Amino acid sequence: KNEVEQSPQNLTAQEGEFITINCSYSVGISALHWLQQHPGGGIVSLFMLSSGKKKHGRLIATINIQEKHSSLHITASHPRDSAVYICAVSYMEYGNKLVFGAGTILRVKS
Amino acid sequence: DAGITQSPRHKVTETGTPVTLRCHQTENHRYMYWYRQDPGHGLRLIHYSYGVKDTDKGEVSDGYSVSRSKTEDFLLTLESATSSQTSVYFCAISDSVVYGYTFGSGTRLTVV
């Protein structure tokens, strides 16, 4: 079974700061996913990565397959970025099920 | 997301009653999943489907059953609801590594 570890568990930042959330996993995967959930809200898929780097607006996600590590970066953070960010991995050979990390609670103060 | 809808959004039910939650997709994705989310436990897989009439158990399947008679619909049934099944339930769909995952808006179920 794959273990997915996220760090930090909690993160408080000032508006405008550069934020990094890390994720590591123990077994080879088909893809790694970054998800966002606002308090009381639904779950939004931000990125799906199998290699390299992806960028969407102020969000950047990278993955190092050899190191089994991924990072989610938020540039110029804003209070609306306050949410729980969840890393998850999936395997096509096992029904593409997700194995989740515990999540990182991000609070961005203005 | 418009491609996946869950119903109902909220439900309060009594212990011992049967409950069915519905997930409907318009994306024609092969895989459908039911997850529950609880404080301190995060998201956990209940059941999933890899095609019409093809389903399998997840890590917390006890007390739940599912059915998928059409590609677009995946039903989750609590045969006899218990207070431990009070939770937020999320349906999700995926097709392949290319298309990733889409989650429904969630169903908040309270068993009293």
pLDDT, tens digit, 9 for 90 and up, residues B81-101: 999 999 999 999 998 666 689
Nearest CA in chain A to B55: A95
> What is the mean pLDDT of the segment spanning A86-102?
87
- Non-local (6+) Cβ contacts of A94 within 8 A are none
Share of chain B above pLDDT 90, in %: 88
pLDDT at B2: 61
Q: Is the pLDDT of residue A109 over 90?
A: yes
Q: Using a CB-CB distance cutoff of 8 angstroms, which residues of chain A are in contact with residue B42? A: 86, 100-103
B109, exposed or middle or buried, with CB in 10 Å at 0-12, 13-18, 19+?
A: buried
Q: d(Cα B80, Cα B63) in Å, to the nearest integer?
A: 7
pLDDT band at A58 (very low <50, low <70, confident <90, very high): very high
Chain B residues with CB under 8 Å of A42 CB are 90, 103-106
Cβ atoms B85, B41 nearer than 8 A = no
Per-residue confidence (pLDDT) for residue B40, from 0 to 100: 84
Determine whether the interchain pair B43/A42 forms a contact, defined as Cβ–Cβ distance below 8 Å: no
Q: What's the pLDDT at A1?
A: 59
The arithmetic mean of pLDDT across residues B20-40, rounded, is: 95
**How many Cβ atoms from other residues are within 10 Å of residue B48's Cβ?**
26
**With contacts defined as CB-CB under 8 Å, which chain B residues touch A89?**
none
Nearest Cα of chain B lies from the Cα of A100 at a distance, in angstroms, of 7
Interface with B, mutate which of A1, A4, A9, A43 (most B CBs under 10 A): A43
Q: What is the mean pLDDT of residues B30-36?
A: 95
At residue A81, the pLDDT reads 97
Confidence (pLDDT) at B56? 94
Which residues in chain A have Cβ-Cβ distances shorter than 8 Å to B56? 95
Q: How high is the mean pLDDT of chain A?
A: 93
Q: How far is B81 from chain A (nearest CA, A)?
A: 23
What's the confidence (pLDDT) of residue A40? Answer: 83
Q: Enumerate the β-bridge partners of residue A45.
A: A35
Question: At residue B1, does pLDDT exceed 60?
Answer: no
How much of chain A exceeds pLDDT 90, in percent?
80
The gap between the terminal CA atoms of chain B, to the nearest Å, is 30
Average pLDDT over chain B reads 93
In which band, very low, low, confident or very high, does the pLDDT at B41 lie, cut at 50, 70 and 90? confident
Q: Of B6-20, B44-58, B84-98, which range is least confident?
A: B84-98
